[in-house]
Structure 1
Amino acid sequence: MSIRFIPVAEINDPLTLAIGLSGGSGTGKTYTALLIARGIAEVKLGRKGAPIGYVDTENRRALHYKTSFPEMVHFDMKAVDGNEIGFGPERWIEVLDAAEAANLPVVILDSFSHAWEGVGGVLDIQAQTLDRMTGGDDSLKNKRSQLAWADVKPRYRRLIDRIVRAKCDIIICTRAKPVMQEGFGAKAKNARSTKTRRADVPWDPASDGDLMFEMTTMVILDPSAPGCPVYQIKVADQFKGLLDVRRPMGEDTGRAMAEWAKGQGDAAAQKAILDAARDVARKGTDAFTAYWNSDEVRANRPLLRTIIESLKELAASADADAGEADSDDPFGTTPTPEQLAAAEAEALAAIRESDDQAQAAE
């Protein structure tokens, strides 16, 4: 087999998108997915009414929107379909093969949670495999559980690899379950670890924990703001300017993402602006405040606000490091973690006060 490295100037094929939308009931997953898909399809095929593939596992729920989305091409993926039963990995691969064969520009998988926890899904397969390995002896299940996973996971990884390598764009909708909280108000946090690996996200997607990090973009919706990307689990710089936690995603979101995938968007310029702001923030609070209030940056503030919290943290950390480095006594006691945390908190408070004053001035 010959191996050839190709100059990137010769690679002009558009990139593909894999967008993950998760959320509980009433968060607008289905409608939002259809809107985003419409924008993507129109850009990819260059016309209104471009087809949207829809894989429906939830008793044809998507057909509630058939009047609003007449371009939808629907597949009712039932738990029982002829001689095929359940939502096993191989069946999903067959569905994606069919979507590509139909030359669909984008396909929505709703709900892909069935691939994980539905009839014939990964958890079901693992449980059945474990029963066979133990012969129904419950005392052996803990010892042989990992062996059962070793038998199932390769099948599921082939499905994930098929999604990643799909030629059509994919929007994956998954259910999310609320996580029990400890503490109250601003101090509340998750009482247990979740698949998102974040203590500030009170939802846990009903899917494989690794799946969301394979997505181009992964967000979790909240019932308090249907369609809005409230919890941004994985959002690359090129999409940060598109996703406002206060504004529902829609056709424009899909169009902008598709333009980026075609290489016609302004994502590269936006990323350069974000990276420049990070570099300044690493110089400390004073440098970043002056940068923020400069005339050249004023027009970029809406974009920079998408990462403002991380910029404040970078500046606060730089201030704390500078305070330690400027000590008159080079052999002095190293600050404790509590002292460093207090210094960072003080710097953050100063930045927020400056930010509030700037917003008031605007």
Structure 2
Amino acid sequence: MSIRFIPVTEIHDPLTIALGISGGSGTGKTFTALRVARGMAEAMTGAKGSPIGYVDTENKRALHYKATFPEMHHFDFTAIDAAGDLVGFGPERWIAVIDAAEAAGLPVLIMDSFSHAWEGVGGVLDLHAQVLDRLVQQAQARANGRYEVDPAKFSQLAWAEVKPRYRRLIDRIVRAKTNIIICTRAKPVMQKGFGDKAENARATKTRRKDVPWDPASDGDLMFEMTAMVILDPSAPGCPVHQIKVADQFKGLFDPRKPMGEFTGHAMAEWASGQGGAQKQKEVMDLARDKARGGTATFTEWWNSDDGKAARPTVRPIMDEIQALCRVADDLTALSDDVPFGRGDQDMGEAHTGAEQEAGA
């Protein structure tokens, strides 16, 4: 095998985008995906009315918008084949759909709802249950009543058989030569606490404490996306919960404004090496550097001519800027003479706490 490292100056092919949009019922996933796809398709091809591929698993629901989006090319993706046999939504069928979209030259493909690939008939969870059942039956046959078989012990073995098939699908999405928008359902997460102190009651390795929605997919999918957002019923179409959004796109994903054609157009420009996304990232990085100097340093820059010009770009990351300033201020306040405090005030508070504890 011959291996050649190619200088980036010789690489001119546009990148492709994989955008994940998740949300509960009534959050505007389908309409939002179509608007964003229209912007992507027109930017990629330079022509109005460029085709949008739509994979519809939900009883032709996308056709509700066919008058608004006549450029839609629709595929009714059901769990039953033309012969009437149940074939389900297994990973290989989704790979075939992406192959067909590329062969048709579609600039954008929407897959809605991709949750069927995870939890639908023949989806990953269903496949796992089938394999687990088979492994347990085989173990019970070997045991022949001599001992009790624990099904839980075979779960990982079942995943080892199913997960590679799903990973091949995820890899196919990442390596697609067309832009892909993946829509998934989201379910509410049980909360604990109230108001500003509310957070998710059941933590997982991929679930953020401040996001009260759980996408019907796995973490592998979410974090392989170019960008991943969760819509909220309180603001249909708006990227309220931003699970993965790089600096290049933070200015596009305003949680107060619905995503639309502009969003898709700007993402496509970035993918083709155009637009101002890289410049925006550089401005955000500069703001972070100023914040690491503390509130005073950042405020001085913020009120300078450069800072005023940068304000629209920096505002989407102001929570992060504030946290960086706070950390820098805390470090500055530390006293070298007091190992665990910030001078006399903190020592007084520590003494008071110790006295109260001793009194208790």
The TM-score normalised by the length of structure 1 is: 0.90
- In the alignment, what sits opposite 1:79? 79
Q: How far apart in 1 are the matches of 2:303 and 2:194?
A: 36
Kindly, what percent of the aligned residue pairs are identical? Answer: 70
Give the partner amino acid of 2:24. Answer: G
Give the partner amino acid of 1:24. Answer: G
- In the alignment, what sits opposite 2:52? 52
Larger radius of gyration: 2
Residue 183 (str. 1) matches residue 193 (str. 2): yes
Deviation at 1:195, TM superposition (A): 6.2
Deviation at 1:299, TM superposition (A): 2.4
Residue 69 (str. 1) matches residue 75 (str. 2): no
- In the alignment, what sits opposite 1:98? 100
Deviation at 1:193, TM superposition (A): 1.3
Q: How far apart in 2 are the matches of 1:297 and 1:279?
A: 13
Runs of 4+ in structure 1 over 4 Å off: 136-139
Number of residue pairs matched by the alignment: 334
- In the alignment, what sits opposite 1:225? 235
How do 1:140-179 residues align onto structure 2 when only pairs under 5 Å count? 140-179=150-189
The TM-score normalised by the length of structure 2 is: 0.90
8 Å Cα contact 1:42/1:48 also seen in 2: yes
Q: How far apart in 1 are the matches of 2:131 and 2:306?
A: 62
Q: Which moved more, 1:144-153 or 1:129-138?
A: 129-138
- The secondary structure found in structure 2 opposite 1:67 is coil
Structure 2 segments unaligned to the other structure (5+ residues) = 141-147, 350-360
Deviation at 1:139, TM superposition (A): 4.6
Give the partner amino acid of 2:199. Answer: K
Q: How far apart in 1 are the matches of 2:64 and 2:312?
A: 36
8 Å Cα contact 2:79/2:88 also seen in 1: yes
8 Å Cα contact 2:89/2:117 also seen in 1: yes
Give the partner amino acid of 1:312. Answer: Q
Q: How far apart in 2 are the matches of 1:335 and 1:87?
A: 59
Deviations 1:285-304 (A, max 9, x none): 11011111222211221211
Q: Which moved more, 1:57-66 or 1:298-307?
A: 298-307
- The secondary structure found in structure 1 opposite 2:75 is strand
Give the partner amino acid of 1:18. Answer: A
8 Å Cα contact 1:196/1:233 also seen in 2: no
Deviations 1:265-324 (A, max 9, x none): 111111110000000000111101111122221122121110000000011001112222
8 Å Cα contact 1:195/1:205 also seen in 2: no
Q: How far apart in 2 are the matches of 1:156 and 1:309?
A: 36
Give the partner amino acid of 2:114. Answer: F
How do 1:99-118 residues align onto structure 2 when only pairs under 5 Å count? 99-118=101-120
Q: How far apart in 2 are the matches of 1:156 and 1:140?
A: 26
How do 1:188-207 residues align onto structure 2 when only pairs under 5 Å count? 188-194=198-204, 196-207=206-217
- In the alignment, what sits opposite 1:333? 339
Residue 210 (str. 1) matches residue 220 (str. 2): yes
Q: Evaluate the alpha carbon distance shift between residue 323 and residue 130 of structure 1 in structure 2; reply closer, same or farther with a 3 A threshold.
A: same
Indicate which of 276, 280, 285 corresponds to 2:290: 280
- The secondary structure found in structure 1 opposite 2:37 is helix
- The secondary structure found in structure 1 opposite 2:132 is helix
Q: How far apart in 2 are the matches of 1:90 and 1:66?
A: 28
- The secondary structure found in structure 2 opposite 1:299 is helix
- The secondary structure found in structure 2 opposite 1:228 is coil
- In the alignment, what sits opposite 1:289? 299
Q: How far apart in 1 are the matches of 2:24 and 2:314?
A: 29
How big is the alpha-carbon RMSD for the aligned residues of Structure 1 and Structure 2? 1.6
- The secondary structure found in structure 2 opposite 1:19 is strand
Residue 236 (str. 1) matches residue 242 (str. 2): no
Deviation at 1:226, TM superposition (A): 0.3
Residue 88 (str. 1) matches residue 90 (str. 2): yes
Deviation at 1:215, TM superposition (A): 0.3
Q: Evaluate the alpha carbon distance shift between residue 196 and residue 222 of structure 1 in structure 2; reply closer, same or farther with a 3 A threshold.
A: farther
Q: How far apart in 1 are the matches of 2:206 and 2:48?
A: 36
